[in-house]
Amino acid sequence: MPIVTLDLLAQYRSLADEINTAVLGVLSSGKYIMGDKVSGLEKEIAEYIGASRAVGCASGTDALLLSLMAAGVGPGDEVITTTYTFFATAGVISRLGATPVFVDIRPLTYNIDPALMEERITGKTKAIIPVHLYGQVADMDPIMESASKHGIAVIEDACQSIGAKYKGRNACTIGHMGCLSFFPSKNLGCAGDGGMITTDDGSLADKLAILRVHGSKPKYFHKVVGINSRLDALQAAILSVKLKHLDRWIGMRRENAARYKELLAGTPVVLPHEREDCKHVFNQFVIKVDKRDELKEHLTGKGIGTALYYPLPLHLQECYAYLGYKEGDLPNSEEAAGYTLALPMYPELPEKDIVEVTDAIKDFFQGK
């Protein structure tokens, strides 16, 4: 049997009765947009995260966009972020007419390097978006120190990292706002798109709640221009069911990661690095290896799925050529893009599949 990188049906089957009941409850209610299901989930997520408020929206991308809007980012502003991330992190900056300022990563964690970030701050810098990549929180203390010194907003992109911790603090509770994605492949995923923003600032939460409904309050009266970014009641109902199991699933992911590390010890593979002061939730299990493309082809030939995150850093994307970056400017990110490979990872991943994957990797190196 082929080994897939992610099996969403395994999770659904384990909760099918409860999820189906929740979905049918929404369908039979006739209340499909916002409402009690969404407000209930917002309270549950805020409590889980340890934040004062949570505001649901249509996607993780919109969570980032709304956060920048709430922070007042607009044309002429600069926003510092990592170049080694999903495009949405930078795309939302550009959509507001601001300029993304790309910073290199630390080679072990793949997260933004705060030491390099400080030198990119200018009088135009309005916000910083650190990305908690693959399930591990970025080094937030120096980021917050720099932001405080310069009066800059910090928006945590925790779209891959709900449940992750940094020095005992949850992702999304350290910056001024934290962004979550509930895309199906995430640690906590719905049956479509969904997102949420958390904050301890009540005025920001109120602003976000207005911005997500075209900037209206009350309905049909608009003090600001917002967007249409509402979380569907159907998705909120599914997420409420799943949230109760999230910590257990994170534990299973961490067990799978430990097994991978045990079986791949002593091979040429560079394994994911977990900082001692962090709790990694392993939304992905990403290795770094020479001959990455050859290894991927080898595993594909054995029926083993893998994925590339992210094969071209954002500073080298065609749409950002106008910024003037060139190859070699951000070397750690460029190296990660050329040598990393994501192995199968999800809570229900069978132990025998982990053994088969690691055996295939060992076979590849023994054959070289």
Question: Domain containing 250 — which CATH number?
Answer: 3.90.1150.10
Query: Do 195 and 314 have their domain in common?
Result: no
* Tens digit of pLDDT at every position of the chain (368 positions): 799 999 999 999 999 999 999 999 999 999 999 999 999 999 999 999 999 999 999 999 999 999 999 999 999 999 999 999 999 999 999 999 999 999 999 999 999 999 999 899 999 999 999 999 999 999 999 999 999 999 999 999 999 999 999 999 999 999 999 999 999 999 999 999 999 999 999 999 999 999 999 999 999 999 899 999 999 999 999 999 999 999 999 999 999 999 999 999 999 999 999 999 999 999 999 999 999 999 999 999 999 999 999 999 999 999 999 999 999 999 999 999 999 999 999 999 999 999 999 999 999 998 75
Q: 289-304 pLDDT, tens per residue?
A: 999 999 999 999 999 9
| Residue 40 counted as domain residue | yes
| Residue 132 counted as domain residue | yes
| Residue 3 counted as domain residue | no
| Residue 89 counted as domain residue | yes
Query: What CATH number did the domain enclosing 181 receive?
Result: 3.40.640.10
Rounded Cα–Cα distance for residues 209 and 191 (Å) = 23
Query: Do 218 and 300 have their domain in common?
Result: no
The 3-class secondary structure across 277-338, one letter per residue, is CEECCCCCEEEECCCHHHHHHHHHHCCECCECCCCCCHHHCHHHHHHCCCCCCCHHHHHHHH
Query: Do 54 and 181 have their domain in common?
Result: yes
Q: Helix, strand or coil for residue 252? A: helix
Query: Do 13 and 148 have their domain in common?
Result: yes
pLDDT (0 to 100) of residue 368: 57
Query: Do 228 and 253 have their domain in common?
Result: no
Interior CA angle at 91 toward 340 and 105, to 5°?
35
Query: Do 239 and 347 have their domain in common?
Result: no
* Residue 23 structure tokens: 């979905």
Choose among 355, 226, 367: nearest CA to 291.
367
| Residue 1 counted as domain residue | no
Choose among 38, 16, 347: nearest CA to 163.
347
Query: Do 341 and 329 have their domain in common?
Result: yes
Q: 167-194 pLDDT, tens per residue?
A: 999 999 999 999 999 999 999 999 999 9
Indicate the pTM of the whole model: 0.95
Query: Do 110 and 214 have their domain in common?
Result: yes
Query: Do 193 and 328 have their domain in common?
Result: no
Query: Do 261 and 205 have their domain in common?
Result: no
What is the count of structural domains for the chain?
A: 2
Task: Point out the domain boundary residue: 189, 210, 243.
Answer: 243
Task: Point out the domain boundary residue: 225, 243, 261.
Answer: 243
Task: Point out the domain boundary residue: 212, 243, 274.
Answer: 243
Query: Do 116 and 234 have their domain in common?
Result: yes
Q: How many CB atoms lie within 10 A of CB 2?
A: 9
| Residue 308 counted as domain residue | yes
Query: Do 214 and 344 have their domain in common?
Result: no
**Domain range enclosing 137:** 8-243
